[in-house]
């Protein structure tokens, strides 16, 4: 009998259900006797013992369903060692609930913060397997994360829709795409949607270069400009500040986000109308795209195989078009950034896309 715990932690995204379904179906097909315990609302469920027993029926019909049937929440790694408001030791509570249910393994689906806590639990002696979930595609050790392609599709559709109204009114439109620290989502959606300017966190922008790119388009007879901006995009001036100085500058910034700051500056310097569109959490929602359904199912199936083999302490990742197992200690705490000299950025520039640098 294998006793398996499941939890989904951090921001939700498409294909979480597909990935869990992959784990459970692969175990069912092996004919191994299993008990599945689903912890509700991420690590909170594991801390406070909030779980429910699941059967194969719970995973039927969820391949195409967005979100997560277990619910999710953010439990910051930086406070995981701090007692809760009632003095409860959160790490010890998670361990006790794991042992109380006599689990053989805990399968955790999540992004960067989730993997830090997962590795901590591994270090504390628990059997852990993780699956890489994030729309940002910024997890180290894997070329792809599930949820990313679905989010790219949604952000691209938003940019596609903006094109017609931008052309009709001859306006400059800014589409703010999710991504605080990395620009994979903005870059891919921007290229797919035909954005003229793409601003990402890894390449601090120069406002003069943005204005220059807009004016070049105007001189060529283009009455509108589409700018895809990552929510974590940063100017060269702010990028040069210390962490303390930057924090103070952000606190004093009167704009709701970087896109509105850029829009205001463009309007002042060009006199052209500028509009900002923020698709926000729509990028996390809806059904997973076909790619993510297949990809998450493959990852889940491989996780099931690791469980049957008793191989723990790994993230199931994807490298060079093959599913691989990556030691958790190699993943935790590392961010997969876009390199400014990456070939995809070079090729985007060859297409005439400006990065504001």
- On the question of a common fold for 2-147+288-331 and 150-284, the answer reads yes
pTM metric for this prediction? 0.94
Residue 285: helix, strand or coil by DSSP?
Answer: coil
* Spatial distance between the Cα atoms of 159 and 169, rounded to a whole number of angstroms: 15
Residue 52: helix, strand or coil by DSSP?
Answer: strand
* Spatial distance between the Cα atoms of 282 and 81, rounded to a whole number of angstroms: 33
Task: Report CA torsion sign: 130, 136, 137, 140.
Answer: negative
Domains of the chain, by residue range, sit at: 2-147+288-331, 150-284
Q: Decide if domain 2-147+288-331 falls under CATH 3.40.50.2300.
A: no
Residue 81, Cβ density class (10 Å: 0-12 exposed, 13-18 middle, ≥19 buried): exposed
Backbone angles phi, psi at 201, to 5 degrees: -60, -30
For the chain, give the mean pLDDT.
94
DSSP 8: E
* Spatial distance between the Cα atoms of 1 and 147, rounded to a whole number of angstroms: 32
Q: Bridge-partner residues for 198, per DSSP?
A: 228
Backbone angles phi, psi at 333, to 5 degrees: 85, 0
For residue 136, give the nearest of 112, 119, 158 by alpha carbon. 112
Residue 136 known to be catalytic: yes
DSSP string, 156-200: HHHHHHHHHHHHHHT-EEEEEES-SS--HHHHHHHHHTT-SEEE-
| Domain covering 150-284: architecture | 3-Layer(aba) Sandwich (3.40)
DSSP 41: T
* Spatial distance between the Cα atoms of 74 and 40, rounded to a whole number of angstroms: 12
Give the tens place of pLDDT for each residue, 285-325: 999 999 999 999 999 999 999 999 999 999 999 999 999 99
The half-sphere exposure of 333 on its side-chain side, counting CA atoms within 13 A, is 5
DSSP 11: S
pLDDT score of 239: 85
Of the candidates 12, 28, 84, 136, the residue annotated as catalytic is 136
Over its length of 357 residues, how does the chain's per-residue pLDDT go in tens digits?
Answer: 899 999 999 988 999 999 999 999 999 888 888 999 999 999 999 999 999 999 989 999 999 999 999 999 888 899 999 999 999 999 999 999 999 999 999 999 999 999 999 999 999 999 999 999 999 999 999 999 999 999 999 999 999 999 888 888 888 999 999 999 999 999 999 999 999 999 999 999 999 999 999 999 988 988 899 999 999 999 999 988 888 888 888 888 888 999 999 999 999 999 888 999 999 999 999 999 999 999 999 999 999 999 999 999 999 999 999 999 999 999 998 999 999 999 999 999 999 999 999
């Amino acid at each position: 009998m294998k006793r398996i715990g499941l939890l989904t932690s951090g921001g939700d995204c498409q294909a979480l259900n597909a990935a869990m379904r992959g784990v459970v179906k692969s175990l069912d097909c092996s004919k191994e006797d299993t008990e599945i315990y689903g912890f509700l609302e991420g690590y909170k469920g594991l801390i406070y013992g909030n779980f429910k027993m699941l059967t194969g029926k719970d995973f039927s019909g969820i391949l195409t369903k967005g979100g997560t049937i277990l619910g999710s929440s953010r439990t910051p790694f930086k406070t995981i060692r701090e007692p809760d408001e009632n003095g409860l030791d959160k790490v010890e509570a998670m361990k006790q609930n794991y042992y109380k249910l006599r689990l053989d393994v805990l399968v955790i689906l999540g992004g960067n913060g989730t993997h830090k806590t997962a590795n901590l639990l591994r270090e504390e002696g628990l059997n852990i397997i993780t699956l890489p979930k994030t729309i940002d595609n910024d997890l180290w050790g894997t070329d792809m994360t599930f949820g990313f392609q679905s989010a790219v599709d949604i952000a691209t559709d938003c940019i596609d829709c903006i094109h017609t109204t931008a052309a009709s009114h001859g306006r400059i439109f800014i589409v703010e795409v999710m991504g605080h620290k990395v620009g994979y989502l903005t870059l891919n959606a921007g290229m797919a949607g035909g954005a003229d300017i793409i601003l990402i966190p890894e390449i601090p922008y120069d406002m003069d270069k943005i204005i220059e790119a807009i004016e070049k388009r105007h001189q060529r007879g283009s009455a509108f400009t589409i700018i895809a901006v990552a929510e974590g995009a940063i100017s060269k001036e702010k990028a040069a500040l210390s962490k303390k100085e930057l924090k103070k500058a952000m606190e004093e910034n009167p704009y709701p986000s970087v896109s509105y700051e850029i829009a205001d500056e463009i309007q002042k310097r060009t006199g052209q109308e500028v509009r900002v569109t923020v698709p926000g959490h729509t990028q996390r929602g809806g059904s997973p795209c076909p790619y993510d359904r297949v990809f998450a199912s493959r990852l889940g199936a491989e996780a099931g195989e690791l469980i049957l083999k008793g191989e723990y302490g790994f993230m199931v990742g994807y490298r060079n078009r093959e599913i691989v197992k990556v030691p958790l200690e190699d993943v935790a705490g590392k961010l997969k950034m876009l390199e400014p000299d990456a070939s995809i950025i070079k090729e985007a520039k060859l297409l005439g896309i400006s990065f504001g640098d």
